[in-house]
Structure 1
Amino acid sequence: MGLFNLGKKDDYGRQRRVEHRGRHLRASRTGGVALRAQAEAAGVNVTANTSTGFRVSGTPMINTQVALQNGRFVLRGRYREGPTKLNVSKTGATVSTRNALGSFNWIKPNRSSAKVAGVQVRGQNAAFLQMIYMLFVGLAMAVQVLIQALVVLFRLGVLLGGIVYRLALATPYAVAVTKRRFRNWRLARRVSQGMEGLEPPISAWTQEALIAGTALVLVAWGRERDPDEVAQAMQERVASNSETWPVLASATEDLVAVAARVQRLQDNDAEQRAEAPPMVMAALAQRMTEKAPEHTVSETILQADELALEDGDRTQRQEALIEIYADFAGIRFQEPEEVASATNATQSQPESAGGNRGPAPAAHGAYVALNTATEQELQNVPHLGPERARELITMRPITDLNQLTAINGIGATRLDDIRDYGVTLD
């Protein structure tokens, strides 16, 4: 070993205790100089030391030593778990903790030790140094814990803020959906109980009467007008544009009669005047799904809406009536955002050299080839239901999109919708 451990470091990087521990000679600042001799036999150690005297010792169990030193009984036990150690002797037990400065005895502080610049300090001075050291260590740990807690709180705040933000965005939609479902539930109950004054009941109406009733409710009641006042005008407008509104045209003869029926419903009970439109629309939509083909169910409300728009922008009541019809008929209309996205994609395409617009990129991810698509594939194109899809197939080959105007119900406006959807002639 080096002379008096000079230059040697312990596990904490400090200068080891300045001492000499030879086989027969030991010297240190606190213990002085002593000569010693040691022998061992049958697990018993015999030690003679000029400073501490004569000692006989043994180890009956791990970390436990019993001895007779100069005629006195000695018991020592050292039981360690990490930096903390339990010390047992015949005078009692103490607990000490080892740290970078030395060791602090929690039960008997005067037995603490500290090492500063390689100089070992014991007793009260060591206890004082240890307490100062542990105070600073404790403060440093507290600051570290505080910083970690603040980081955790910050992350938690960000997480909660994100949740609150999402809830704030979702709340209006959730409230609207809840109100819509409650309204539909209430309407379904009222419809199931029947509507007094409506003869014959809607369940007995023909398909044409249902179509006429849907159009009248939306166009007349949607603008708070009496159905019998607008029925005749509607009949003339639809008849003169039968190619544009073929489904409505099939019910023109029923408009006046149906107008009289629904008018009586309001006249018989003034309290039902506000409740009648949504109730009748819900009942019509339910019955339409039972009597009419799926294509006719959707085309009825779409054509009725087009007819209503000729009188101006939709009213709030008309918006609500269309929504009720869609809910009770199981129809999903394209959201405004989806329409805007598809429109923007279409408008971004340059015109061809001939001035005609080429096929727009299909918002659904693929073009529909009019000359090769199946009947089912053609029905994915706006305004092409089963009947129109079959009629288109009989017209093949299609050499110009304008040929589609020959199909009953396809006008210039609907042709633009079909072109914007994304179709080709290949």
Structure 2
Amino acid sequence: MGFLNIGRKDEYGKQRRIEHRGKYLRASRTGGVALRAQAKAMGANLTANTNRGFRVSTTPLKNTQVALQNGRFVLRGRYSHGPFQFNLSKTGVTASTRNRLGTFNWIKPQRSSAKLFGVQFRGRKAVNLQVLYMLFAAVAAVCTLLFRLFVRLLEVLVLLPGIIYRATLASPYASSMLMRRYRNWRLSRTIARLERYTGREMDSWQVEELAAGAVLILAAWGRGNKTTEMASVLEQAIAEHTQEGPLQRSLQYLPDTSLRLEKYTEEFKGDPVHHLALMAMLASRLARKISEDELPEVLLEADEITLNDGPRTMLQERMLEVFGDFAGLQLFEEDSVALAEESYPAQAPDREFGHVESKLDLNSASLEELQALPHIGEERAKAIAARRPFFDMEELKEIDGIGPQRLESIRAYATVR
């Protein structure tokens, strides 16, 4: 222990109060020099001090002291809660705050204390020192806050051009998605009315009937034609351009399904909103009755058949979106090459469209590499491997399920050498 506590620090790193506390001797600037002795008897503390007299004290509760000193009753208690310390005495309760300088009493400021360079101050001097300290601390806190706000403002200003740029890029997509959700909400209300009109008749339709209805709506109503007029045309197109599956098996249901759909139009006179609502009803039911692998195949084959009559109309684009939304499929607007780039980014990330050197050679690729191509699963990869060698990309049309539209998607990533 240093002489008079010189060199000893408190919890704030400041010089402790300069004083001497020995077994029998006490010496400080405010208390002077005094002899002191202490003993215990019958659970009470007995203290004799040459300056303060004789005291008998006990502790009935934690942090609470009751004493008689020179015949006077003394009551002391100190209780902490958060940043405050509550002090109990026979004159009442006060609240104080501990800081680096000492203690400031908010109820009775004259009981405050301050310690500066190891010298303890009480009373008015302590109050003045505490007020100056708190003013300085408040100014420092405000300056620190303003500096941090300034730094954050600079960070925002640095990032602002990028944020504006990203927001500009995202705003068309965000507005498009918002309008799409609003449209689907309106369609849900239209569907509720149609359900009452049809008496949920569509719930009893088989998978093949639902597939037939979807391709009829897309190919006929999507171009402003009647489904009954397109049924025979679609029969031939489906027979020629589709592989074995729900759409192929729907051939026999096309005439009856076209009549049912036209019966529905008698009530709403060909309103495109109702056309979209019926497509949504078909899509949601088809998604519940068909496997996850066959569902997108039905839509892609139906779309491929409709493209035989030319580019899609705006209504057909909306029908595809509605089918995807209500069937739980994620569709991309295309350009077939754009579709391939969006749908298969993980399979061919390093290939650059238009550069033959970067494309996959169908005659030497492994099965795993073939399966990474658009629309090529395990079965079609095996069929391609068995058909080698290829001398022209057009020969891929001989593979079951690969039509002109899919060939263009594959052509963006593959070639024959």
TM-score by shorter chain over 0.5:
yes
Q: How does 1:2-401 map to 2 (within 5 A)?
A: 5=4, 7-9=6-8, 11=10, 13-14=14-15, 16-17=17-18, 44-46=46-48, 49=50, 52=51, 55-61=53-59, 63-68=65-70, 73-81=71-79, 84=85, 86=87, 88=89, 99-106=99-106, 108-117=108-117, 119-137=119-137, 140=140, 172-173=176-177, 176-177=180-181, 179-180=183-184, 182-183=186-187, 186-187=190-191, 190=194, 193-194=197-198, 217-225=217-225, 234=233, 243-244=240-241, 272-274=269-271, 277-278=275-276, 302=300, 305-323=303-321, 332=329, 335-336=332-333, 339-341=340-342, 342=344, 345=349, 347=352, 351=356, 367-368=370-371, 377-378=378-379, 397-401=386-390
- Distance in 2, matches of 1:361 and 1:23, equals 92
Larger radius of gyration: 1
The one-letter amino acid paired with 1:335 is F
What is the DSSP-based 3-state SS (H/G/I as helix, E as strand, rest coil) of the residue aligned with 2:387? coil
Contact 1:243/1:409 (<8 A) preserved: no
Q: Which sections of structure 2, spanning at least 5 residues, go unmatched?
A: none
What is the DSSP-based 3-state SS (H/G/I as helix, E as strand, rest coil) of the residue aligned with 2:67? strand
- Distance in 1, matches of 2:320 and 2:29, equals 100
- Distance in 2, matches of 1:26 and 1:291, equals 94
- Distance in 2, matches of 1:209 and 1:28, equals 99
Residues paired across the two proteins, number: 373
- Distance in 1, matches of 2:276 and 2:38, equals 109
Q: Which sections of structure 1, spanning at least 5 residues, go unmatched?
A: 196-200, 370-375, 382-388
The one-letter amino acid paired with 2:177 is Y
Label 1:114 to 1:423 Cα distance change in 2 as closer, same or farther (>3 A). same
Label 1:338 to 1:78 Cα distance change in 2 as closer, same or farther (>3 A). farther
Q: 106-115 or 243-252: which moved more?
A: 243-252
Q: 218-227 or 411-420: which moved more?
A: 411-420
- TM-score with structure 1 setting the length: 0.54
1:385 matched residue in structure 2: none
- Distance in 2, matches of 1:405 and 1:252, equals 22
* Residue identity (%): 30
Contact 1:184/1:324 (<8 A) preserved: no
Q: CA deviation at 1:13?
A: 2.5
Q: CA deviation at 1:223?
A: 2.6
Label 1:243 to 1:45 Cα distance change in 2 as closer, same or farther (>3 A). closer
- TM-score with structure 2 setting the length: 0.55
1:372 matched residue in structure 2: none
Contact 1:359/1:420 (<8 A) preserved: no
The one-letter amino acid paired with 2:316 is Q
The one-letter amino acid paired with 2:180 is A
- Distance in 2, matches of 1:260 and 1:306, equals 20
* Structural RMSD (CA): 6.6
Contact 1:350/1:357 (<8 A) preserved: no
Label 1:59 to 1:406 Cα distance change in 2 as closer, same or farther (>3 A). closer
Contact 2:109/2:123 (<8 A) preserved: yes
